Amino acid sequence: MSFFDLPRTPGIQCRLLRGCRLQRSGDGMSFAVRQPDGRVVSFLPWEEEAYAAVLDRLSRGAHAAALRDLALEAGGPDRATAFMMVLRRLAAAGLVEFPLLDEVGERAVLLPQWAAFVPSLATEPAPEIGLDRFACIRRDDRSWLLESPLAGARLSFPELAALETSIVRRALAAAGFLERAEADPRRREALEQWEFHDLAAYRRHRRGWHRDPMGATFDHRETIDPPPPTRPPWPGERTALPPANAAGASGSLADVLERRASLRIYDADRPIALGDIGALFDRAARIRGNLATPAGPAGARGDFEVVVKRPYPTGGARGELELYVAVDRAADIEPGLYHYDAAGHALVRISGRTPAVSSLLAEARTCAGGIPETQALVIVTARFARVMWKYRSVAYALILRDTGVLYQTLYLAATDLGLAPCALGAGDATLFAEATGLDPLIEGSVGEFILGGRPAQRSAATREAAGTGTVAGSEPA
Ligand SMILES: Cc1cc2nc3c(=O)[nH]c(=O)nc-3n(C[C@H](O)[C@H](O)[C@H](O)COP(=O)(O)O)c2cc1C
């Protein structure tokens, strides 16, 4: 039986969410809840003083039954029923938390994340039953947090020992934190295939499964300078890239879409050249311009942020992705690692073919299904702060989406230019960090794409050899 149905659920109280305050509305006709971020939710259309006592108890924490008794005293059965409905609505809006108490005192607090969450207590689980494999314990700035993408609340507790107490274990069992046999075979199969990090990220990136701030919150605006829209250039030797030949033949979009395919074999006689990379990046990746727009809700402090315009879109026009090219074999570019200066349309040399660069190229060949040759490997990095400075909860998801958008733009432009393109699904971020000296927490690799001169005649045999590769690189797909 759940908290709201059981007259005096032992061990579970309810309390206005920490940081929220109850206040009277301006006209004095109702009570409202002021949330820590200043938003006010009006809930209680009662002006009678009598209810002040109930609401005061709600602020401090009490059994729901005790609150109902107080409401009954103040306004009779109808008002008591109405009050319980209001309490449910507050809980569904995430404005109520549920302290778990035993004879020692308050052990932990359940913080609802899903609108449908109602706390309850299961019978005491057997001692050998532990946390489910999706549960995760971490710290926030005040306490420990236990979370699971399969549970509708998170648990906040001051000491790890709380997890061993009977009241907490009973609440965890009821909320779905502990190991259990899944009865529905289809759901069991589905769960078997979810990995911890995938499910945690999926739940985190969508609304409805958590109550943390989400979207463009500009949380760091007051304390951290906005990251520059354009990456500061590398210091190395610059080679200007030729632009795409505007007069050159270009297929219709329908034609290019139809012809687009992943190719992993190259024309040995006509390896990729500077002109190809210049044309491809001009079409697909250059910076078209920067634009100042208000930062934050309606440009709160009158601040502006600079967004980046490129041929491919990025979430919030953050323009956080950078391109690097590891050249293995090209007509007129020395082997080595280069950065694409997207504002200046130039390649800037970072290094020659160091062991780390060779390993990146070797890994790309493996990832493409064990192909014998690479000509150029494009490595996509993200300047993470460009996105994280603005967005909460969804930043890394946006970066991966942006990477997918860039992949398709590179595919289409490369197809149109007669090159052989192929996206890769996995790359070694530590090797890239070693090759560049970049801190992967600041700028790290998030995608890879191989390129080369397209074989002149694609026979049936070469089409077969083009294969499908493998994301992990361990076995052909
Ligand atoms: C996100 C993504 C990751 C990919 N990863 C790899 C990979 O690691 N190795 C590979 O050889 N091909 C990879 N590919 C290419 C796919 O195998 C290819 O798109 C798929 O087989 C369909 O063939 P098509 O592109 O010729 O239409 C990837 C494609 C995408 C979009």
| Backbone angles phi and psi of 416, in degrees to 5 | -65, -35
Q: What value, to the nearest 5°, has the Cα angle with vertex 37 and ends 35 and 42? A: 35
Task: Write down the pLDDT at residue 459.
Answer: 45
Backbone CA torsion sign across 75, 78, 80, 82: negative
| Cβ neighbourhood burial of 318 (10 Å; 0-12, 13-18, 19+) | buried
Cβ-count burial 163-183 (b if 16+ within 10 Å, e if not):
bebebbbbbbbbbbbbeeeee
Q: Are 118 and 3 in contact (CB under 8 A)?
A: yes
Residue recorded with tokens 């108490």: 101
Residue nearest to atom 20 of ligand 1 (CA): 468
Q: Would you say the CB of residue 261 lies under 6 angstroms from ligand 1?
A: yes
Pocket-testing residue among 424, 446, 448, ligand 1, by greatest number of atoms within 8 A of Cβ: 424
* 465 membership: H or E segment, kind and range: helix 460-466
Question: Encoding tokens for residue 442?
Answer: 């600041």
Give the type of residue at 397. A
HSE-up of residue 160 (Cα within 13 Å, Cβ side): 4
Phi, psi of 317 (to 5 degrees): 50, 40
209-222 burial code (b ≥16 CB/10 A, e <16): ebbeeeeebbeebe
User: Angle at the Cα of 434 (from 437 to 347), degrees rounded to 5?
Assistant: 65
User: In angstroms, how far is CA 111 from the centroid of its own chain?
Assistant: 22
Please work out whether the CB of residue 423 comes within 6 Å of at least one atom of ligand 1. yes
> Cβ(406) to ligand 1 under 6 A?
no
Nearest residue CA, atom 6 of ligand 1? 424
Q: Ligand 1: which of 256, 257, 260, 262 to mutate, most ligand atoms within 8 Å of CB?
A: 262
pLDDT for 383: 98
**Segments in the chain below pLDDT 50:** 299-300, 459-465, 472-477
Cβ(421) to ligand 1 under 6 A? no
- Give the C-alpha separation, 345 to 277, whole Å: 10
Strands 40-44 and 289-294, bridge-based pairing: unpaired
Instruction: State how far the alpha carbon of 219 is from the alpha carbons of 108, 215, 223, in Å.
Output: 28, 10, 9
Output the pLDDT for position 404: 98
Strands 419-424 and 105-112: unpaired
Q: Up-side HSE of residue 227: CA atoms within 13 Å toward CB?
A: 21
Please report which residue ranges of 194-315 form alpha helices under DSSP H. 196-205, 253-259, 274-284
User: Cβ(244)–Cβ(286) under 8 Å?
Assistant: no
Task: Name the token pair of 271.
Answer: 């390896």
Residue 26 has phi, psi (to 5 degrees) of -55, -40
**135 within 8 A of 148, measured Cβ to Cβ:** yes
Nearest protein Cα to ligand 1, atom 12: 469
- Backbone angles phi and psi of 116, in degrees to 5: -85, 0
CA distance 242 to 232: 21
DSSP annotation string for 375-405: SEEEEEEEEHHHHHTTEES-HHHHHHHHHHH
| The pLDDT of residue 4 | 65
Atom of ligand 1 nearest to the CA of 368: 11
Which residue's alpha carbon is at the smallest distance from atom 21 of ligand 1? Answer: 468
Query: Is 430 strand, coil or helix?
Result: helix
Q: What is the pLDDT of residue 221?
A: 87
Name the token pair of 438. Answer: 């970049």
Atom of ligand 1 at shortest distance to CA of 426? Answer: 8
Residues constituting the chain: 477
Most ligand 1 atoms within 8 A of CB, residue of 422, 449, 463, 464 to mutate: 422
Sole residue written with tokens 């349309």? 345
Write phi, then psi, for 446 (nearest 5 degrees): -125, -5
Are the CB atoms for 95 and 39 separated by under 8 Å? no
- Measured between alpha carbons, how far is residue 280 from residues 208, 310, 345, 451 in Å? 41, 13, 11, 10
The answer for residues whose C-beta is within 8 angstroms of residue 461's C-beta and 6 or more apart is none
Question: Ligand 1 centre and the CA of 386: distance in Å?
Answer: 28
